[in-house]
Amino acid sequence: MNIRNIAIIAHVDHGKTTLVDKILHATQVFRENQETGELIMDSNDLERERGITIFSKNISVTYKGVKVNVIDTPGHSDFGGEVERVLKMADGVLLLVDAFEGPMPQTRFVLQKALALGLHPIVVINKVDKPNCRPDEVHDAVFELFFNLDATEEQLNFPTIYGSSKNGWMNTTITETDNIFPLMDAILEHVPEPKVNEGPLQMQITSLDYSSFLGRIAVGKVARGTIKENQQIALLQADGSNKKMKIKELYVFEGMGKKKVTEVVAGDICAVVGLENFNIGDTIADAENPEALPIISVDEPTMSMLFGINNSPFFGKEGKFVTSRHLRDRLMKETEKNLALKVEDSDSADSFNVYGRGILHLGILIETMRREGFELTIGQPQVLVKEINGTKHEPYEVLVVDVPAEYSGKVIDLVTQRKGEMLVMETKGEMQHLEFDIPSRGLIGLRSNMLTSTAGEAVMAHRFHEYKPWKGPIPGRNNGVLLSKTTEKTTAYSIDKLQDRGRFFVDPGQDVYAGQIIAEHIKPGDLVVNATEPKKLTNHRASGSDDASKAAPKIQMSLEECMEYIQQDECIEVTPKSIRLRKVILNEDDRKRVSKSMSQQLA
Ligand SMILES: Nc1nc2c(ncn2[C@@H]2O[C@H](COP(=O)(O)OP(=O)(O)OP(=O)(O)O)[C@@H](O)[C@H]2O)c(=O)[nH]1
Ligand SMILES: [Mg+2]
């Protein structure tokens, strides 16, 4: 059968998943009038809530008699490693670029990977329905990017499609149509058919699927030969081992689902059931002539966090899984499918060092665990420093900020304070486009400050660039925090009295414990306060209704915002019901003693 394998790649939010949905619709995977709702492809709960793709996904449609396998990829930079891997299944890519924003840091990263694999991208300038969009300028910028990434003559000659995935049209010019068929035609015309290599079976496992009935499913493209149901195969692993096993079931992708088949020939993407203890990167090979495909390199982690059992006074009240055994087993299980994640034992039996690709990568894991019923304590995210030629190096990132011109001064101040250096400043319509080189440390906590000082107008994106020498101390949070003195329920009376001292993270009537962070101090320095005092009873009834709380609503922070908020001596208690900020040392006297001895050591 005639086949095309394509991956859709882009910066976060440039419209990949929306386009995949439209491809499914246009090729009538759905019955007429079937209610499908928005973005069926982002099917995981967390994906829907956040409106982002976390896991890459395979679909398959038939267009003009040709089977088109499409891989939707995540655009967030924390998941870049996943994109790099699934590109191994593709013979072509659609590079989507937002017609207003133009190429962004992740556009560069994914394009670089695609070009390096020798793929010939089709450029899709998407979102041309946006007011003030600049499709021609963006096209030029994309060309420049190809050029800077050393694209070959042929790659530079990329076809361009314009359109709006949201409005369901694509065209070879900027003229609106009522369908996406010009894009589908471009795929048939420009994406080569997969190379069919003759010889004994070879298939590399490049991604992983899971079904509660079938267990772990290995997904990849058959590179050579034919894979058959019940076939004896050799599983060749990175450590050089060769395990004999049998293929139980085989599937190919069809629409959004899978279809059971008895064999799959080279060129098609397939899902294999019945393999035990396989890893991504393993080669499924002919049992008689086992030959491994080159090992897939996995991105090194750039960030670490300490995951411990919950040791707060509220331990065990809200979760099902609370012991270090539970925690350890769960983290180890995660490393089987979450390739960029590493877990190591720490000095204590109750906590583990978890290494990942960034705040979002680790945040998604914590959120998933919390939903499964885990309680845990997590420490401040740390970037991973390296010793290179005897000197301390740290990760640096490219930071891109687009902001209305009137706020650009504030943005530059903010980034410079955090040791960022400005590389580019350009005008894009009414916006200023700024690019910086900044240590990853300086990015932690930057987003919320940036949004506050630009009235929410700044759009920022960053991506790991390289390790460079350590840049020295970077100022942490400006404000101190208010800590609860007591373990009790907060009262409206107390919170009300403390309103001018800080902005609260807790509501009146909420259980708090001594050492818990209950508010942000309006000034630097921490303060221990009593927020649980009952109202003094007097003989007189006070005039007016002072029972009604005048307290400002509490500040609600997401898990990731909390992760970026806490400092070295603080941590986060995560349970299925709550996220609480706290000091690592809850007892006030102990805390003072430790900080005194720390400052003596430093002196
Ligand atoms: N105006 C406009 N908005 C669009 C268009 N295509 C997508 N969007 C919107 O852009 C947002 C992101 O779209 P997605 O399809 O989720 O983007 P994505 O590239 O899959 O994002 P990630 O998977 O997180 O990298 C959504 O709010 C879409 O409705 C378009 O053509 N025009
Ligand atoms: Mg998506």
Quote the CA–CA distance of 174 and 161 in Å, as a whole number.
8
Measured from the CB, is residue 164 less than 6 Å from ligand 1?
Answer: yes
- Confidence grade of residue 550 (pLDDT, cut at 50, 70, 90): low
Measured from the CB, is residue 50 less than 6 Å from ligand 1?
Answer: no
Measured from the CB, is residue 105 less than 6 Å from ligand 1?
Answer: no
Alpha carbon of residue 238 to chain centroid: 26
Quote the CA–CA distance of 442 and 473 in Å, as a whole number.
10
SS3 label, residue 361: helix
The pTM (predicted TM-score) of the whole model is: 0.88
pLDDT of residue 543: 46
3-state secondary structure 373-431: CECEEEECCEECCEEECCEEEEEEEEEEEEEEHHHHHHHHHHHHHCCCEEEEEEEECCE
Quote the CA–CA distance of 38 and 34 in Å, as a whole number.
12
Ligand 1 atom closest to residue 126's alpha carbon, by position in its atom list: 31
pLDDT of residue 538: 64
Measured from the CB, is residue 10 less than 6 Å from ligand 1?
Answer: yes
Stretch among 34-38, 65-69, 393-397, 550-554 having the lowest mean pLDDT: 34-38
Alpha carbon of residue 581 to chain centroid: 23
pLDDT of residue 544: 44
Strand order in the sheet with 160-164: 57-63, 66-72, 3-9, 92-98, 122-126, 160-164, 169-171
Measured from the CB, is residue 80 less than 6 Å from ligand 1?
Answer: no
Measured from the CB, is residue 16 less than 6 Å from ligand 1?
Answer: yes
The pLDDT of residue 35 is above 70? no
pLDDT of residue 297: 74
CB 350 within 8 A of CB 308: yes
Q: Average of pLDDT values for 451-474?
A: 90
Stretch among 29-38, 207-216, 415-424, 434-443 having the lowest mean pLDDT: 29-38
**Interval between CA 102 and ligand 1 midpoint (Å):** 14
The pLDDT of residue 32 is above 60? no
pLDDT of residue 336: 78
Instruction: Tell me the range of 159-163, 540-544, 558-562 where mean pLDDT is highest.
Output: 159-163
Q: Report the candidate in 100, 86, 116, 63 with the shortest Cα–Cα distance to residue 9.
A: 86
Measured from the CB, is residue 107 less than 6 Å from ligand 1?
Answer: no
The pLDDT of residue 518 is above 70? yes
Distances (CA, A) of 189 to 193, 241, 469, 521, 577: 10, 41, 48, 62, 53
Beta bridge partners of 208: 218
Ligand 1 atom closest to residue 75's alpha carbon, by position in its atom list: 25
- Confidence grade of residue 335 (pLDDT, cut at 50, 70, 90): confident
Query: Contacts from 441-447 at CB under 8 Å and sequence distance 24+?
Result: 441/383, 441/394, 441/471, 441/474, 442/415, 442/418, 442/471, 442/474, 443/397, 443/399, 443/418, 444/359, 444/381, 444/383, 444/564, 445/476, 445/477, 445/564, 445/565, 446/414, 446/415, 446/418, 446/564, 447/564
pLDDT of residue 545: 45
State pLDDT tens for residues 69-117.
999 999 998 998 889 899 999 999 999 999 999 999 899 999 999 999 9
Between 209 and 369, whose confidence is greater? 369
How are beta strands 215-224 and 269-273 bridged, if at all? Answer: antiparallel
Which two structure tokens, joined as six digits, stand for 380? Answer: 């401040």
Q: How far apart are the first and last CA of the chain?
A: 74
Ligand nearest to the CA of 22: 1
Instruction: Catalogue the E-assigned strands of 287-348.
Output: 303-308, 342-345
State pLDDT tens for residues 480-501.
999 999 999 999 999 999 999 9
Q: Average of pLDDT values for 294-322?
A: 91
Report which protein residue has its CA nearest ligand 1's atom 7.
15
State pLDDT tens for residues 191-216.
999 988 889 999 999 988 877 788 88
Q: Report the candidate in 232, 256, 186, 193 with the shortest Cα–Cα distance to residue 67.
A: 193
Measured from the CB, is residue 410 less than 6 Å from ligand 1?
Answer: no
Q: What percent of the chain has pLDDT over 70?
A: 95
Q: What percent of the chain has pLDDT over 90?
A: 74
Quote the CA–CA distance of 403 and 567 in Å, as a whole number.
28
The pLDDT of residue 541 is above 70? no
The pLDDT of residue 46 is above 60? yes
The residue type of 322 is V
Distances (CA, A) of 584 to 74, 305, 309, 514, 578: 35, 14, 12, 11, 17
The pLDDT of residue 145 is above 60? yes
pLDDT of residue 80: 86
pLDDT of residue 110: 94
Measured from the CB, is residue 78 less than 6 Å from ligand 1?
Answer: no
Site to substitute for ligand 1 among 59, 76, 166, most atoms within 8 A of C-beta: 166
- Confidence grade of residue 20 (pLDDT, cut at 50, 70, 90): very high
Q: What is the DSSP letter of 48?
A: H
**Interval between CA 240 and ligand 1 midpoint (Å):** 42
Q: Which residues keep their CB under 5 angstroms from ion ligand 2?
A: 16-17, 53
3-state secondary structure 487-520: CEECCHHHHHHCCCCEEECCCCCCEECCCEEEEE
Measured from the CB, is residue 126 less than 6 Å from ligand 1?
Answer: yes
Quote the CA–CA distance of 145 and 54 in Å, as a whole number.
26
**Interval between CA 276 and ligand 1 midpoint (Å):** 37
Longest dimension (CA), the chain: 95
The pLDDT of residue 4 is above 90? yes
The pLDDT of residue 28 is above 90? no
The pLDDT of residue 448 is above 90? no
